[in-house]
Each structure stands twice: as C-alpha cells, then as structure tokens.
Structure 1
Amino acid sequence: MTVLLFIVGVLIVLIGVGASIALHEIGHLVPAKLFGVRTPKYMIGFGPTLWSTRRGETEYGVKAIPLGGYVSMIGMFPPARGKGDLGRTDFGDLGGTAPDDAVAGAPATGVDSGRTPTTRRSSTGIFQQLADDARQASAEELQPGDEDRLFYKLPVYKRIIIMLGGPVMNLVIGFVLLAVLVSGVGTYQNTTSVSTVNECVLSSAEQAERAAAGEDSCRPEDPLAPASAAGLRPGDRVVEYDGVRLAAWEWQRLTDLIRSTAGETVEVVYIRDGAEHTATITPLLTARPELDAIGRPVTDATGAVQTVEVGFVGMGSETRHMTLPVSEVPEKVGENVRAVADVVLDLPARMAAVARAAFTDAPRDVNGPISVVGVGRIAGEVSAMEEIPLRDRASTLVGLVASLNIALFVFNLIPLLPLDGGHVAGALWEAIRRGFAKLFRRRDPGPVDIARLLPVTYVVAGLLLVMGVLLIYADIVKPVQLF
C-alpha cells in the first residue's frame, strides 16, 4: 500500500507539472494569435513527436522528452541589415511574384529594395554563421500572406505581452492554488499564541554547548528571558506589539518586530482567559538564526545555519490548522516569490553547494534548488505517510505544485535568452534605442537582431542543461531530506 501511495503522489505532481507547462505555453499562444502572429506549432516536450493534431494553422502535439515546451512563432528573427523585410526573404517574394524593383532579366529571388543582390554572403565567422543559419531556417517557414504576421514587426508592448504571457500564467496558477490552499482548505500556521516561554536567554552556540554536556537548565548568572520577565505564559495570545495590532496568524510579523527592537522597551498586549493585559518587554540583542523571506533558517555553502544579532524574547509559537482571508494570499505569493528570487540571485553558489553535496560528504541544503525528480520524490514520500491525515497530504501536494509554478514564474524572468526574460529584455532595449534615435532625430536603428545573440543563447541553454543533469543526479544520490 505504501508503494502504491508513493506512486500516486509522484503521478499527481507529474500531472501538475505537465499541466503547468502546457498552460505556460498557452500563455504565449493566446496573445500571439490575438495579435495576428502565425503560430505553426504548439508542443509540450522536446525531441521526437509522440502525438500531434492540426487545428487551423497550428499543429498541437506532445513530444518524447517532457522537460518543457514551446510555441513556434513566425518572424522571431528580423532580417540582416541591408536585406530588407522578411516579407521578401533571400528565397523569393512571398507573393510568388518578382519584386517591384527587380532588374529586368534577374530572377525573382535576387534583389532587395536597395538593388543589392540578396544571395547569401559568406560569413566572417562562426557567430555570423549561426545568425545566418537561424535567419535562413526562419525564412524557410514563411508562407504567402505572412508579410504582416511576423513577430518582430509587432509593437514592442505586444511582443512583451506575448513573452510575459507564459510566466504570468504560472503566477496565476500559483496564486489560485495558494488561494485554494490557504483560504479554502487551510494550512498549519505559526500563530501569535504562546506555546513555550524560556526561563533564560542563551545564544545558539551556548545552547549547543550545554546540550552536548547534558545540561538542560539555566544557571543563576544567565540573563532572564524578556518574555518570562514580562509575565507571559503558555496559552497567552499576543494581539499587539509596540503599537502594531496583530492577527492570530501573524507570528512572522511579530518575530520581525521583536528582532528589530533589540534593547528597546516596548508595550506588548496579550489576551489571557478572555481578558486583555498590557506589559512592557525589552528584547535582548543576541545571536539567532538568520531567516529568509518565509521564515526559514538561512544556511551557508556547508549547510551550517547562519546567525545574525537581533532582538530575542524567548517564547515559542503555537501551531494551528487554520484558514486565512483571501486578502492574505497576495502576501503569501509575495513571500514565495522573494524566497525563489533569493535562490536565483545566489544560484551559482547554490549550484556549487549542490555539486559538493553530490560528490562529497557535505550535507544537502534543504532550502537549495531541486529538480523535478526531487519534487516527485518529496511528493511520493508525503503521499506514503499514512500516519498523516489525507487532508494534510493533499494540501502538501497542492503546495508543491503551487511553489513550482512560482519558481517557473521567477526563473523565466531572468533576462537571458532563451528564457522569456531574455526576449523581454531585447524588446525593451529596442524601445530604448528607437526612443533615443527619435529624441536626437537620428535614423531608426530598426529591430534588435536577437539572431546575433544565438551564441549566448546556446551557452545559457548548455548551462541550464548541465544544471538540470546535476540536480537530477544529486536528487538521486543525495536527495533533500525534509522529513
């Protein structure tokens, strides 16, 4: 039964991943069609085609390697300088007739508006060859009537809408799933209700040292914990701190307030036995674990928890299963976005830590990046935990898919080709160039030729492939241990 539940959990997440990829590509496809761009293909996966069907001018299909998807759009690459419009390519006029300015007796495939032969010139290097090959492949897809349906001819804002459509779709999916999870089903939240009150305050290092020595009580010289000195007890619910009213689920906000008021004497209001009480409390400045955007301890490259000097009062939070208002969902989404952004901004160091963990005895960072294999493994483990209520297991699986979509949203915004953010950056750069040209009354510089960036695209794609293989290998030989 356990094995079956494990497989079910993996399948649920894989279906969620596949649906997320499919909807991401729909986010590109729909605005492209609305803006008139011809889209020959909509594919889920890469490699050989397993199944496809044609609806109108678009072929929809599934390919053998389920590691992404794509929508092909006509006219992604503008023509090279001096070669005119892709409506008149190096391979002939799309209307099937000779250009208006064709030289008498010349073939219909050889003259552009500048009366310069458009036969392909020999390249001056491998990078130019890559760009020329990309333009040639793009031109070969053109059909009569495509002259005004080319992607690069769209206004900049329409191109940005098309390229942001995919990531925004992932953000919407993540938002909806988190809304269902947080406001519908409910999740376990750290509340402002006090579960424990420390007798004294010790640094993390002192706690570890005394625990190793088997000492579990405070010494007379130890400083009294501020929460204990203020008279707080387990069961009290903090409703106000330093003039800030707190909802029952705002433990993280309370933690942030406490950490920022070290050495200050502030008022704290709490409820005990149905009545409000007021006390003063002075957080002590002490070394505590550094927390990320969603309250998780931050670790260094070796897996050790990093510490920071902050205010501390010495009380713990009571955890409860509860639903939150829908108005809290944007904040939860924002927390997830910030957490993923922190990982992306520190990705080289994170990947180096993954490599060390995979090939040495170094521990795996539970807050580091993982592959789809790792996500599937976690889903299987959660699903197989029969001692956990079914509702909680289902909530965890939904949360995994939601987090994955938030990660896809953030990752695809990286301004590097072939990611969506790279195309957005190219369109914005084109708008800036043309804006300056217009301001200073210079000649229009024309569209940005992203074909010239193909070498960078191949390098980035290669790095992404290496990163994916490394993550999959690490998730097999040394998976993240959450439980």
Structure 2
Amino acid sequence: MILVVLGIAIFFFGLLFSIAWHELGHLATAKMFGVKVTQYMVGFGRTLFSRRGRETEYGVKAVPFGGYIRMIGMFPPKRDEDYGRTASSAPWRAMVEDARQAVAEEVRPEDSHRQFYQRSPWKRIIVMAAGPFMNLILAVGIFASVLMGYGVAEPTTTVGAVSECVVPANAPDTRECPPGAPKSPAAQAGLRPGDEIVAFEGQPVRSWESLRRDIRDSSGTVSMVVERGGERITLTPNLMQSTQPKLGNSDGYVKVGFLGIAPTSVLVQQSVGDVVDRIGELIGMTAQKVVELPSEVPDLIGAIAGQEREQDSPVGIVGASRLGGQVLSYDEASVSARLIMMVQLLAGVNLSLFLINMLPLLPLDGGHIAGALWESIRRKFARLVRRPDPGPFDTAKLMPLAYGVSLVFIAYSLLVLVADIVNPVTLS
C-alpha cells in the first residue's frame, strides 16, 4: 500500500512538472519577443502560493488540472467599422466585447507596445506552439533515453516458461490448470525452461518471431532440436490446435498450432534509427487515440455504470496517477523496470498533451496557431492583389466557439474523472 501511495505521489508531481514545463515554453518565447506576461500559474482556482518577479507573478493554484500564462493584449481592439454593426446577435456580441474589454483593462499605457496581437504572425505561432513542443521534447527525450540507454526487452529463442496445460486464449485468466484441461504439447515432449531451440522441422531457428509463426502454421507431430547443458537433443512434440489471438493489430481469435512455451527476454539497446522509427510509431498510435476520443464516450458511461473498462480507455490526471501507483507496486518486476515503466507512462502523457493542444480549436494552443496562420495568409493575399492590409485577425470574435469547446472539454474531463474514481483502469 505504501508503494501504491508513493507511486501515485511521484506520478502526480511528474504530471505537475509536465504542466509547468509546457507553460515554461509559452513564457520563455513570449518574453523573448517582448510580450508582457503578468502571470505564470500551474493549476486553476484559488492561489495556494505565489511569488512576484519584476513583472510576472509565479504561482501554484488549488486545482491541478492544467496551467496558463497571462499575456497582455491577446485580442486586437475593435476596428472603427465594427462600431456601426447591428445588434442582431447581441448575446454573442456581448460575450465577445466582454472578453475584449477584460483583455484591454490589463494593458497599461506604458505597456501598449508589448501586446501579444501586435507581434507578427510567425512570432505568435512560435509562442503558442512552444508549449506543446515542450511536451513533445520531454516525451521524445524520455523515450530516447530509455530506448538507447536501458533498452527494449526482446524475446530470444531460449525457453523461459513451459505451460502445464492448454486453455483457450479467451478463457478466464487463471494461473492454475482447470479440471480436464489437456497437458500442453511442450510439457508432454519434455521441454524445459532454459532450453535453447536451435532448429524446427529441420530448419535453423534465427528468431522467436519466425519460430512462433512456424509453430502457429504447423499441426501434428513436429521435430525440434534444443540445446540443453551443452548437448543437443531432438524432441517430437505433437502440436495441438488452440484458439489464440490474431497476430499484429487484428482483433479476434483464430485456431492455430500450439506448443505451450514462452521465451526469455533480453534488454537490447536501440540505435538512433530504431528510436526514430519507434517514436514515429508511438506518435501515430497516440494521434489515432486522440482522434478516437469522442467515440470513447459510450464506453466511459458504461464503465461508470459498472461495465468492464478497457485498458486503453482514456484516463485523466487521477487515473494516470493511480496507474503510476500500480506500476511502482508491481512486485513481479525489478525496481529499475518499474521506474522505467513509470517514466514511459509519463512520456506517453506528454505525447498526448502535445497532440491535444495542437488541435486547431480555441481555446487550445492550436486554435491560436490557426488564427495566426489565417492572418498571415490573408495579409499575403491582400498584398498580392494590391488591397489594403486587413490587419490582425480578431480571435475575440471566436470566443463563443471557444466557450463551447471549453464546455465540451470540461464535460469530457468530468466524465473521465468519474470513471477514474468509480471504475479505474488497472494494469494486467
């Protein structure tokens, strides 16, 4: 129990660091381009601690579900031609003007030249992209360090475990053989942990993956050569047909040849090329999960109602911290392996933060980036056709949409939070 609590605490503070690291990217680039930043906060709500620098207040707030920096002049002032518009959409217009006025009140006369909207679009893109890219840098740094320094467990052709009996892959998980279960072909043939399989059906065995495919594609009596204690022994197991998961990313089960062995694994440090490939795969997988977030709503509601929750279900800061506690308390792995699993879990969270924040929706960073890109395109087009400069893109007009997106994210976060509390994801 102590390890669980310690793991939760370590992972929780790791998430807070990730949030602070994200906001540091915004802070550093905003100051670099001369934008005045009045606040740098980790969390929302009531301030627990703060310290004021020369012009920026640094602090921690009570609700640790994000963070922010406050830059002056996020919205441009209203243009002269906008004052004469009708009030046909008065409620939305009032919302826009309230947001614009709140921003304008933060600007002192001496700081009028240090507003965010006054910076060129490419500078604003850098400021808004710096936060998500800090998360990406942290994720890539962690994954690269683990893959190149610690290594990846890769299966060998040496037997690590021998199944005593045969049960379908979709049977209830149990360590004991159920009554009436047939003895596994490996156990019948006399295979032992530590045997190195050197040949299968007269062909040399070069990798575990090739051996596994050969076993699945075979049936009946086969010939195997193993090396045991420096001596080569020929065994003739009689393979059975068993229901096993399909290989690759395919769902479902299939009848295949079954021997009943598991390999040992060794840690293999990866090359730079391998790291690039693996991180690319991780980014692609995470992006797919981000796209699938809306489709997870029924499963989350079902999990709250008591249905089984999938292991790849979305989790929030509470669920992720609980997973960190489970990893640290997993006594079947070494301490170093548990710590590696924790930091990789934290890297995965940072990868998700990068991708979610890059979505082109206000109030996310990607929404501000999209607005700056559109402004740049609009200005270049105006110069091309010799029209007057249209001026800054008025993101204030998108505030009703931003509020709507915020409500959706808040509702989704609350749904995940409830699911994390009443039916948390557990690691197998």
* Contact 1:290-1:308 at 8 Å conserved across structures: no
1:153 and 2:151 aligned: no
What is the correspondence of 1:389-468 to structure 2 with a 5 Å cutoff?
Answer: 389-468=334-413
TM-score if structure 2 supplies the norm length? 0.77
What is the correspondence of 1:299-318 to structure 2 with a 5 Å cutoff?
Answer: 306-307=251-252, 318=263
Q: In the alignment, which residue of structure 1 is the partner of 2:282?
A: 336
- Provide closer, same or farther for how the CA distance between residues 230 and 354 of structure 1 changes in structure 2, counting only shifts above 3 A: farther
1:348 and 2:317 aligned: no
Counterpart-to-counterpart distance in 2, 1:308 and 1:416: 40
Superposition RMSD in Å: 3.8
What is the correspondence of 1:73-92 to structure 2 with a 5 Å cutoff?
Answer: 73-82=71-80
Deviation at 1:46, TM superposition (A): 0.6
Deviation at 1:217, TM superposition (A): 7.5
2:109 alignment partner, SS class = coil
2:51 alignment partner, SS class = strand
Q: In the alignment, which residue of structure 2 is the partner of 1:63?
A: 61
Cα deviation, 1:431-458, whole Å, max 9, x if unaligned, reads 2222222222233222221111111111
Q: In the alignment, which residue of structure 1 is the partner of 2:36?
A: 38
Counterpart-to-counterpart distance in 2, 1:431 and 1:395: 44
Counterpart-to-counterpart distance in 2, 1:318 and 1:162: 49
* Contact 1:290-1:307 at 8 Å conserved across structures: no
- Provide closer, same or farther for how the CA distance between residues 231 and 24 of structure 1 changes in structure 2, counting only shifts above 3 A: farther
Specify every segment of 5 or more residues in structure 1 that has no aligned partner in the other structure, as ranges. 85-117, 198-202, 219-227, 240-250, 263-271, 274-285, 293-297, 299-305
1:13 and 2:16 aligned: no
- Provide closer, same or farther for how the CA distance between residues 317 and 164 of structure 1 changes in structure 2, counting only shifts above 3 A: farther
2:58 alignment partner, SS class = strand
Q: In the alignment, which residue of structure 2 is the partner of 1:125?
A: 90
The count of corresponding residues between Structure 1 and Structure 2 is 381
Deviation at 1:366, TM superposition (A): 0.9
1:57 alignment partner, SS class = coil
Deviation at 1:335, TM superposition (A): 2.1
1:325 and 2:323 aligned: no
- Provide closer, same or farther for how the CA distance between residues 480 and 147 of structure 1 changes in structure 2, counting only shifts above 3 A: same
TM-score if structure 1 supplies the norm length? 0.69
* Contact 2:358-2:365 at 8 Å conserved across structures: yes
Q: In the alignment, which residue of structure 2 is the partner of 1:358?
A: 304
Counterpart-to-counterpart distance in 1, 2:10 and 2:184: 47
Counterpart-to-counterpart distance in 2, 1:79 and 1:290: 59
Q: In the alignment, which residue of structure 2 is the partner of 1:183?
A: 148
Q: In the alignment, which residue of structure 2 is the partner of 1:482?
A: 427
* Contact 2:48-2:61 at 8 Å conserved across structures: yes
1:444 alignment partner, SS class = coil
Counterpart-to-counterpart distance in 2, 1:426 and 1:192: 52
- Provide closer, same or farther for how the CA distance between residues 331 and 129 of structure 1 changes in structure 2, counting only shifts above 3 A: same
Counterpart-to-counterpart distance in 2, 1:120 and 1:59: 39
Identity of aligned residues (%): 39
- Provide closer, same or farther for how the CA distance between residues 290 and 369 of structure 1 changes in structure 2, counting only shifts above 3 A: farther
* Contact 1:43-1:62 at 8 Å conserved across structures: yes
Counterpart-to-counterpart distance in 1, 2:201 and 2:170: 25
Q: In the alignment, which residue of structure 1 is the partner of 2:224?
A: none
Counterpart-to-counterpart distance in 1, 2:422 and 2:170: 31
Cα deviation, 1:365-399, whole Å, max 9, x if unaligned, reads 21121111111111112222334321111111111
* Contact 2:150-2:269 at 8 Å conserved across structures: no
Counterpart-to-counterpart distance in 2, 1:318 and 1:447: 62
Cα deviation, 1:169-228, whole Å, max 9, x if unaligned, reads 0011111212232222334x234647699xxxxx9899xxxx99956789xxxxxxxxx9
The equivalent position to 1:168 in structure 2, one of 129, 133, 146, is 133
- Provide closer, same or farther for how the CA distance between residues 217 and 480 of structure 1 changes in structure 2, counting only shifts above 3 A: same
Deviation at 1:81, TM superposition (A): 2.5
2:111 alignment partner, SS class = coil
Cα deviation, 1:215-264, whole Å, max 9, x if unaligned, reads 6789xxxxxxxxx986457xx3339xxxxxxxxxxx6xx89xx8xxx9xx
Deviation at 1:320, TM superposition (A): 2.1
- Provide closer, same or farther for how the CA distance between residues 149 and 376 of structure 1 changes in structure 2, counting only shifts above 3 A: same
Q: In the alignment, which residue of structure 2 is the partner of 1:105?
A: none
* Contact 1:28-1:165 at 8 Å conserved across structures: yes
Counterpart-to-counterpart distance in 2, 1:79 and 1:213: 79
Counterpart-to-counterpart distance in 2, 1:205 and 1:73: 55
- Provide closer, same or farther for how the CA distance between residues 329 and 229 of structure 1 changes in structure 2, counting only shifts above 3 A: closer
2:29 alignment partner, SS class = helix
Q: More helix per residue: 1 or 2?
A: 2
Q: In the alignment, which residue of structure 2 is the partner of 1:115?
A: none
* Contact 1:413-1:419 at 8 Å conserved across structures: yes
- Provide closer, same or farther for how the CA distance between residues 214 and 141 of structure 1 changes in structure 2, counting only shifts above 3 A: same
Deviation at 1:130, TM superposition (A): 0.8
1:40 alignment partner, SS class = strand
* Contact 2:33-2:123 at 8 Å conserved across structures: yes
Deviation at 1:155, TM superposition (A): 1.4
Counterpart-to-counterpart distance in 2, 1:290 and 1:55: 57
Mean CA deviation greater in 123-132 or 457-466: 123-132
Cα deviation, 1:124-152, whole Å, max 9, x if unaligned, reads 41111111011100110011232321211
- Provide closer, same or farther for how the CA distance between residues 457 and 230 of structure 1 changes in structure 2, counting only shifts above 3 A: farther
